[in-house]
Amino acid sequence: MGIRVKPLHPHIGAEIGGVDLRQPVPPETFAEIEAALNQHAMLVFPAQLLIDEQQVAFSRLFGPLETSPDFAGSKKTRIRHREVEDISNLDSDGRVMSADDSRLLFNRGNQLWHTDSSFKHVPARCSLLSAHEIPPTGGETEFADLRAAYDALSEATKRKIDGLVAEHSILHSRTKIGFREFNKEIQSALPPVPQIIVRTHPGSGRKSLYLASHASHIIGWPVEEGRKLIEELIAFATEPRFVYQHRWRVGDLVIWDNRCTMHRGCAYDDTKYRRDMHRTTVSDEINSVERERGRESVA
Ligand code: OGA
Ligand code: MN
């Protein structure tokens, strides 16, 4: 029996039925899921209620998983699995963080449009997010299709941006929101990296923008000019016509393709309501510039 695919938006997102992700997914079913992801860039699997082990097993079908970093300097974690990142406003005892907890501020960086791990030399291919607890209001997640946005650019803009490389850094996106508590290890482990701004999406063969709040400036351009271009492209690519907003239900498992989308969390009252999401992140194979230019290595 095949999966059911119901598109949610003209460009991005589809709801998937007819598969239980708590069970091992047979290769032919996985091939259908992968094809749907390549086409729709973001998939919603309702009512899955996965435990971490099940989410990790399903995620591994897409490729090797990232292990969760300790950006905000919290040693104790709520989640035991190193492949599962804690996307919540809960402290290690499972209580809503206090308003002065630096992790709360760090997590609010997810409310800027971004694509996951573009600040790493090898960024993320796709991410999977499972909803364990959701607030009664707010806390949606928005997704923008950067292939549709690329298609809609003027020919002059397409020519202007072809081949440009941006410098991405987690320090850049977090500094924007006023987070300054990066420790030395994180700073030296995560130096700025180059990422191409127009890439060919391997899953569909379509051209796509590749942008994020982590993108700081264009390499070889005056910083302010590059920053302005990146801001203009992000504003264009996130116009409502390219965006699907997902309103979460407990048990949803959502997967998105980081190579051709951006996403952001919507605000909610994070010092009052609980929001508990678990993320697994599938690594891409190589740096985006290397992929686009045929594996010639970049600094
Ligand atoms: C993420 C992310 C946004 C959200 O998990 O990568 O950006 O709405 N999440 O939680
Ligand atoms: Mn993210």
**How many angstroms is it from 86 CA to the middle of ligand 2?**
12
**Ligand 1 — pocket residues by CB below 6 A?**
87, 110, 116, 127, 129, 141, 263, 265, 277, 279
pLDDT at 186: 77
Taking only the tens place, the pLDDT of each residue in 212-222 is 999 999 999 99
Residues with CB under 5 A from ligand 2 (ion): 116
For the chain, domains (ranges, CATH) are 4-296 (3.60.130.10)
**The three-state (H, E, C) secondary structure of the chain, written as one string:** CCCEEEECCCCCCEEEECCCCCCCCCHHHHHHHHHHHHHHCEEEECCCCCCHHHHHHHHHCCCCECCCCCCCCCCCCCCCCCCCEEEECECCCCCECCCCCHHHHHHHHHHCCECCCCCCCCCEEEEEEEEEECCCCCCCEEEEEHHHHHHHCCHHHHHHHCCCEEEECHHHHHHHCCCCCCCHHHHHHCCCEEEECEEECCCCCCEEECCCCCEEEECCCCHHHHHHHHHHHHHHHCCHHHEEEECCCCCCEEEEECCCEEEEECCCCCCCCCCEEEEEEEECCCCHHHHHCCCCCCC
Taking only the tens place, the pLDDT of each residue in 217-253 is 999 999 999 999 999 999 999 999 999 999 999 999 9
* Mean pLDDT taken over the chain: 94
The protein residue whose alpha carbon is closest to atom 7 in ligand 1 is 110
**How many angstroms is it from 114 CA to the middle of ligand 2?**
6
Taking only the tens place, the pLDDT of each residue in 42-64 is 999 999 999 999 999 999 999 99
The protein residue whose alpha carbon is closest to atom 3 in ligand 1 is 265
**How many angstroms is it from 141 CA to the middle of ligand 1?**
7
Q: Which atom of ligand 1 lies closest to the CA of 129?
A: 5
